[in-house]
């Protein structure tokens, strides 16, 4: 089916761009919160949601994701207002996943978020080592992180923890101790990311100045393989390259929409969305700066600043790149329905090299192939 397929899911992403402090590894569209009046942005997001509803038509929402930035700087009333407006405009499916990204500093608001309808909290611990937290520019301590995690108990049906590893001079023993501690804390889901040096982020300039050096590829690969082994032993399924869940019920519904090439409305400054209408698929990006975003929505009823039509080739390549991230891989049928073909010669070679699996109509990465995911996606895509 070339048009919108409900089986691939429909979600709503809400980007809250403000942060108490901008982390040096971050290249997202974020701004210092300072003492801003955030009500104009909140009202504009509600108006943008209505504009998106006019473009999507009737659909039911599988998931809402409030990301950023730091959406845990929102008030409980603002979160409740966003969720309520999404439900009014589209309708939430029974049991829809509603995720909010939170910093440990904002634990005092967790009860308000739960009361507002959030049922999944993604907690940005990032590390349980105070020195590494300082290096990462975080404003909380390891003890703050542990108290915040404890404060989620009984409030949400699922709690995810984010951590960053492959930090400068981090050894396998260092990471083994930290990850062992995290695995003992009772979280439902772990998002474990290798530190990447993003162009434009403060860390990129620090590395260029030679203030410090990132881990080399071999040592990073060692830590990645250690991560996979330890999470598997602890019962956390590696259902995606960087994401591990304690059972299928704790896998991220919203992220699976991305990986399945589903559709999602995206509101807030700089938010990126995907929309399928008829046989056409569109990549949409909202105006980046908050002031520009407010003016765009006020003038046009939508925050859209850039809209690109994805032809079948671009759509197929996106399906390959995103689909290979998940354990089950990408379905050949999903590529064929776009009248595109994989590079079968390269697929066969990579299967022979032990980097891909090709069975039951799906192409999937092996454990070793996951270390080369981006390269492999580029080589086998149409």
Per-residue pLDDT tens, the chain, 382 aa: give them. 578 999 999 999 999 999 999 999 999 999 999 888 999 999 999 999 999 999 999 999 999 999 999 999 999 999 999 999 999 999 999 999 999 999 999 999 999 999 999 999 999 999 999 999 999 999 999 999 999 999 999 999 999 999 999 999 999 999 999 999 999 999 999 999 999 999 999 999 999 999 999 999 999 999 999 999 999 999 999 999 999 999 999 999 999 999 999 999 999 999 999 999 998 999 999 999 999 999 999 999 999 999 999 999 999 999 999 999 999 999 999 999 999 999 999 999 999 999 999 999 999 999 999 999 999 999 999 9
The pLDDT, as a whole number, for residue 35 is: 86
The pLDDT, as a whole number, for residue 368 is: 95
Every domain of the chain and the residues it spans: 6-258, 313-380
Asked: is 313-380 a CATH 1.10.10.920 domain? The reply is: yes
The pLDDT, as a whole number, for residue 27 is: 92
In the CATH scheme, what is the code of domain 6-258? 3.20.20.70
Torsion, Cα 112 192 132 21, to 10 degrees, reads -40
Asked whether the domain spanning 313-380 has the same topology as the one spanning 6-258, the reply is no
Exposure string (b/e) for 116-129, b if CB count within 10 Å is 16 or more? bbbbbbbbbbbbbb
The pLDDT, as a whole number, for residue 240 is: 98
Rounded distance between C-alpha atoms, residue 53 and residue 69, angstroms: 24
The pLDDT, as a whole number, for residue 65 is: 98
Enter the tokens of residue 313: 């080739």
The pLDDT, as a whole number, for residue 1 is: 53
């Amino acid at each position: 089916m070339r048009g919108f397929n409900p089986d691939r899911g429909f979600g709503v992403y809400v980007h809250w761009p403000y942060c108490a402090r901008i982390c040096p590894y971050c290249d997202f569209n974020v701004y210092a919160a300072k003492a801003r009046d955030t009500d104009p942005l909140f009202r504009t997001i509600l108006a943008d949601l209505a504009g998106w509803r006019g473009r999507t038509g009737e659909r039911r929402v599988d998931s809402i994701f409030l990301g950023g930035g730091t959406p845990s700087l929102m008030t409980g009333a603002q979160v409740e207002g966003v969720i309520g407006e999404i439900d009014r405009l589209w309708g939430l499916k029974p049991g829809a996943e509603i995720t909010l990204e939170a910093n440990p500093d904002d634990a005092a608001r967790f009860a308000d978020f739960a009361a507002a309808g959030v049922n999944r909290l993604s907690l940005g611990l990032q590390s349980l080592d105070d020195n590494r937290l300082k290096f990462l520019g975080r404003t909380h301590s390891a003890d703050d992180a542990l108290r915040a995690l404890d404060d989620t108990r009984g409030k949400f049906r699922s709690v995810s923890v984010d951590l960053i590893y492959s930090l400068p001079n981090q050894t396998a023993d260092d990471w083994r101790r930290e990850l062992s501690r995290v695995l003992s804390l009772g979280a439902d889901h772990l998002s474990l990311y290798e530190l990447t040096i993003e162009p434009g982020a403060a860390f990129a300039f620090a590395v260029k100045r030679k203030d410090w050096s990132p881990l080399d590829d071999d040592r990073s690969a060692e830590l990645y393989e250690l991560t996979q082994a330890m999470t598997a032993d602890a019962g956390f399924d590696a259902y995606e390259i960087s994401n591990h869940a304690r059972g299928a019920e704790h896998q991220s519904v919203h992220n699976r929409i991305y990986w399945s090439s589903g559709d999602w409305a995206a509101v807030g400054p700089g938010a990126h969305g995907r929309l399928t209408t008829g046989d056409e698929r569109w990549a949409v990006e909202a105006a980046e700066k908050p002031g520009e975003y407010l003016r765009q929505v006020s003038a046009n009823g939508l925050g859209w600043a850039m809209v690109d039509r994805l032809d079948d080739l671009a759509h197929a390549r996106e399906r390959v790149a995103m689909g290979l991230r998940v354990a089950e891989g990408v379905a050949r049928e999903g590529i064929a329905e776009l009248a595109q073909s994989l590079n079968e010669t390269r697929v066969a070679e990579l299967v022979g090299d032990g980097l891909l699996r090709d069975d039951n109509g799906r192409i999937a990465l092996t454990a070793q192939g996951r270390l080369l995911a981006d390269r492999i996606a580029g080589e086998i895509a149409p």
